[in-house]
Amino acid sequence: MSTQTTLTQFIIEQQRNTAEASGDFTLLLNDIAAACKRISHTVNRGAITGMLGSAESENVQGETQKELDIVTNDIMVDALNWTGHLAGMVSEEIDDPIAIPSEYPKGKYLALFDPLDGSSNIDVNLTVGTIFSILTSTEGVDAKLSDFLQQGTEQVCAGFVLYGPSTMMILTTGQGVNGFTLDQDVGEFVLTHPNMTIPEDSREFSINMSNQRFWEPAVQQYVEECIQGEEGPRGENFNMRWVASMVAEVYRILTRGGIFMYPFDSRDPSKPGKLRLMYEANPMAFIVEQAGGVCTTGRQRMLEVQPTDIHQRVPVILGSKNEVNRVVSYHQE
């Protein structure tokens, strides 16, 4: 008999330690895992499906959608809307909250997701992923827009699935962070990376340097000091990485530490950052904190930002504790 722990087994065992566990949550997570396996398969088939490239549409953020942004969104919605565990959904790709069709029962959970993160990487065959966040709502009632506007501290679960050389799910329910690898042969996620932690120190930073002229002084100073290396005030050399897929960036940081920044920039006053709070920043913040790291806007703990809009953008600085705290201190100067 195999000694490998499957995702389902892991969640059931975790639930047994939780007083208010109903079993509903295990089923919801299984539905998300099933949807992500389907997405993994679709993404993996690449050009064979004829679904690479852009669609002829824009999302609410004014970004041109990729064909696969739409397809993966539909996979998530179709997998989750009928099962009776959700009271509503929010997706990066859909302007308004997605209602549960009237013929299906409403559950007590809300699912918020970025169905395909890093989708600009699809056409060049680099790692992409799905990010999700679970909140609770009133059971049996259709969720209203205002029901979604909860601080990140209210998340009961957050995770992301990475479609890279291997497909992996990284998950937290507030009891640490665990990584599962999809065994393609049997179609199960198995626990391969228990208790992931982020080293407190790191000498690797991650930022899109082409935006440098739009950054604030605090981020300018931090990056300048990294680049000066041994000759600068830090007295050490730094390395840089930019995948342009937040999922890949956060996974690297969970593996070997580092700092990732998509900071405030002055390009467009209506957009205080690029990444979205509800289905990118908050789930990643929950995971990063649970792994011992820090996630902030530069001025506030991410999980305490009060949302005002389901698609609002925020500056994001996350990763190894001592490096992120250094950037925060530069903001205070």
User: Which residues contribute to the site for Mn ion (CB under 5 A)?
Assistant: 92, 114, 116-117
- Window of 113-121, 154-162, 216-224, 307-315 that interacts with ligand AHG by CB under 6 A: 113-121
The residue type found at 48 is: I
Among the listed ranges 99-107, 155-163, 177-185, 244-252, the one in contact with ligand AHG (CB under 6 A) is 244-252
User: Based on CB atoms, which residue is closest to Mn ion, 113 or 180?
Assistant: 113
What would the two tokens of residue 210 be? 């082409």
Q: Which residues of 32-71 are buried (b: 16+ CB within 10 A; e: fewer)?
A: bbebbbbbbbbbeeeeeeebbeebeeebeeeeebbbbbbb
Spell out the residues 6+ positions from residue 240 whose beta carbon is closer than 8 angstroms to its own: 204, 205, 206, 207, 209, 226
Query: Is 65 a binder of ligand AHG (CB under 6 A)?
Result: no
Using the contact rule CB under 6 A, the part of the chain among 154-162, 177-185, 243-251, 323-331 near ligand AHG is: 243-251
What type of residue sits at position 23? G
44 binds ligand AHG (CB under 6 A): no
What, of Mn ion, ligand AHG, none, does residue 274 touch, CB below 5 to 8 Å by kind? ligand AHG
Reduced to 3 states (helix: H, G, I; strand: E, B; else coil), residue 55 is strand
Given a contact cutoff of 8 angstroms between Cβ atoms, the answer to whether 181 and 189 are in contact is yes
Q: Does 76 bind ligand AHG (CB under 6 A)?
A: no
Binding status of residue 274 toward ligand AHG by CB under 6 A: yes
208: partner contacted, choices ligand AHG, Mn ion, none (Cβ within 5-8 A by kind): ligand AHG
The four Cα atoms 12, 149, 251, 242 give a dihedral, to 10 degrees, of 170
Question: Which listed residue (51, 73, 109, 117) binds ligand AHG by CB under 6 A?
Answer: 117
